[in-house]
Amino acid sequence: MKEILSRWYAKDSVKKILSSLISILIGLCVGALLVLITGIFKSTISGKGIWEGIRIVFLGILSTGRDANGALSWGLNASNLGNMLFRATPLIMTGLSVGVAYKTGLFNIGAPGQYLMGTMTSLAIALSIPSEVVPAWLIWIIAVLGAALAGALWGAIPGIVKAFFNINEVIACIMTNWIAANVVTWFFDGSGFCNVQEYGKTGYIYPTRYNNVATVKLGLDKLFAGSQVNGGIIFAILIAIGMYILINKTTLGYQLKACGSNRNAAKYAGIKDRRNIILSMAISGALAGVGAALYWLSGNTEFVWSTYQALPAVGFNGIPVALLALNNPIGVIFTGIFMAMLNIVGQQLTNLTAYNEYISDVIIAIIVYMAAFSLVIRVWLEGKSKKKAIAEESKEVTKKEEE
C-alpha cells in the first residue's frame, strides 16, 4: 500500500494538483477565520451565526437554504450548481487565455480587454443580423466566430509590439485593456443596441433573446432546474480539451512551448519566434473573446455598456484560474468551476447569514496569493523527492558502467 502511495506521490502531476489543493484549503481556512473574527467583534452575530458562516464558507454550494425551523439545510442545490457552471464558462475561457499565453512565456494580462472586444462583437452581431432572415443558430455561430476574431486581433496587438519592438507585453496589455473599455463604451453609446424597451433598464444592452439568439441548452436546464446554465459550459470544456491537445500533441504547441521556455534556443532551431509570440497572443485573445461570446449570447445576460471606468473582473480572474491550474488547460476546467463556486458561496453568505458576499472576494484574493505561492509549495513538495532523482541518475550511470 505504502509502495503504491509513494509511486503515486512521485508523479509530477499529483504534486501539482496537491500544491493547488493546499493553496485552496489555506484560502478557505483564512476565509473561515475572517468569518470567525468578524463574528466575534460584531455584536449582532451570535456564536451560532459564526458557525453557520463558517459552514457556508466551506460548503456553501451544497446549501439549500433554511428549513422550517430556521436551521441551515443541505443537499444538492440544482439552481446553485447550474449557476456555478454558467459563471464558470467565461472564467474557464479567460483562464485558458492566460494559461496558453503563459506556456509561450507571455503574461496575458490583457484578457479583460480581449473579453470586452469579444463582448462588443458578439452582441453587435447577435443583435444586428435579423433572425427572421438568417437562422438563429447560424447567427450564434457567426457571433462566436466574430468574438474570437475580435479577441484575436486585440490580443495580437501586444504580441506584435512585443515581437518587433520588444516592448513588455504587460504594459501593452494594460493599455489595450483601457482602449478596449473606451472603444466599447463609445461604440454602444452611439448604437441602437441600448435597451429602451424595458422600463428602468437604462445603460443596458438588449439581451440577445430579443433577436431569438441564445446558446443551446443541451438539456442542462432540465438537469439544473431554475438556473441560467446552458451548453456554453460544454463548449468551454471542449475548447479546454482542444487546447490541451494543441499544446501537448501538435507541432504548433511544441513551437509555442519552445519559444516560451527558451526563445534563444527556439531561434537557434529555426523556429520563428516572432510569429509564435504573435500567434500565441492571438490564440489567447480569441479564447477570451469566445469566453465573452459564450456568456453574453446566453440569451438572458444584460451587458452594462458604460465600461470605460471599470474592466470586467472575469478577465482578471482568468489569472488566478490559470495560476491555480498551473496553466494546464485541463486543470483550468476545474479551477474555473471552483472560482465560480466561490462566487455562489458569496451569494449564499449574503442570502443566508449576516455576512456578505465580500468575504468570498477575500477568499479569492487569498487563494490568488496562495496560487502564486503554489509554486513554492510545489518546490517544497519536490524537494523531498529531488535527492531521490539524483540518486537514480547516478545509479543508472553506474549500472551502465558495469555493463
Partner 1 sequence: MENTSEYVIEMLHITKEFPGIKANDDITLQLKKGEIHALLGENGAGKSTLMSVLFGLYQPEKGVIKKDGVEVKINNPNDATALHIGMVHQHFKLIDVFTVLDNIILGAEDTKMGFLARKAARAKLEELSEKYGLAVDLDAKIEDITVGMQQRTEILKMLYRDNEILIFDEPTAVLTPQEISELMQIMKNLAKEGKSILFISHKLNEIMEVSNRVTILRKGRYVGTVDTASTNKQELSNMMVGRPVQLEVVKDVAKPTDVVLSIENMCVASHLHKKDAVHDVSMKVRRGEIVCIAGIDGNGQTEFIHGLTGLDKITSGKVELCGEDITHASVSKKGKNMSHIPEDRHKHGLILDFTLEDNMVLQRFREPQFARAGFIKFPEVRKYAQKLIDQYDVRSGQGPVTVARSMSGGNQQKAIIARELDREKDLVVAVQPTRGLDVGAIEYIHSQLIAQRDAGKAVLLVSLELDEVLSLSDRILVMYEGEIVGELDPKKTNAQELGLYMSGAKRNQEEGSNE
Query: Which positions touch partner 1 (CB under 8 A)?
Result: 249-252, 254-255, 257-258, 261-262, 264-272, 387-398, 400-401
Contacts with 33 (C-beta within 8 Å, 6 or more apart), sequence order: none
Nearer to partner 1, 18 or 271 (CB): 271
Distance of closest approach, residue 264 Cβ to partner 1, in angstroms: 5
Q: 57, 347 in Cβ contact below 8 A?
A: no
Residues 6+ away with beta carbon under 8 Å from 216: 137, 230, 231
Contacts of 44 (CB under 8 A, 6+ apart): 354
Q: Which residues on neighbouring strands pair with residue 66, listed in sequence order?
A: 72
Comparing CB distances to partner 1, the nearer of 217 and 274 is 274
Q: Tell me the three state secondary structure of residue 72.
A: strand
Q: Which is nearer to partner 1, 134 or 269 (CB)?
A: 269
Nearer to partner 1, 268 or 358 (CB): 268
* Residue pair 87/317 in contact by the 8 Å Cβ criterion: no
Pull the grid cell for residue 211: 433577436
Q: Which is nearer to partner 1, 309 or 398 (CB)?
A: 398
Alpha-carbon distance of 93 to 74, in angstroms, equals: 31
**What is the C-alpha to C-alpha distance for residues 288 and 291, in angstroms, rounded to an integer?**
5
CA gap 208, 228 in Å, rounded? 14
In whole angstroms, how close is the CB of 398 to partner 1 at the nearest point?
Answer: 7
Residue 323 to residue 326: CA distance in whole angstroms: 5
Minimal distance, residue 282 CB to partner 1, in Å: 17
Please report how close the Cβ of residue 401 comes to partner 1 at its closest, in angstroms: 8
Q: Which residues pair with 371 in a beta bridge?
A: none
Place of cell 471606468: 309
Is 69 or 251 the residue whose CB approaches partner 1 more closely?
251
Closest approach of Cβ 245 to partner 1, in Å? 8
By beta-carbon proximity to partner 1, the closer residue of 74 and 268 is 268
Cell matching residue 6: 509513494
CB of 104 to partner 1, least distance (A): 13
Cβ 152 to partner 1 shortest distance, Å: 19
Q: Are 95 and 335 in contact (CB under 8 A)?
A: yes
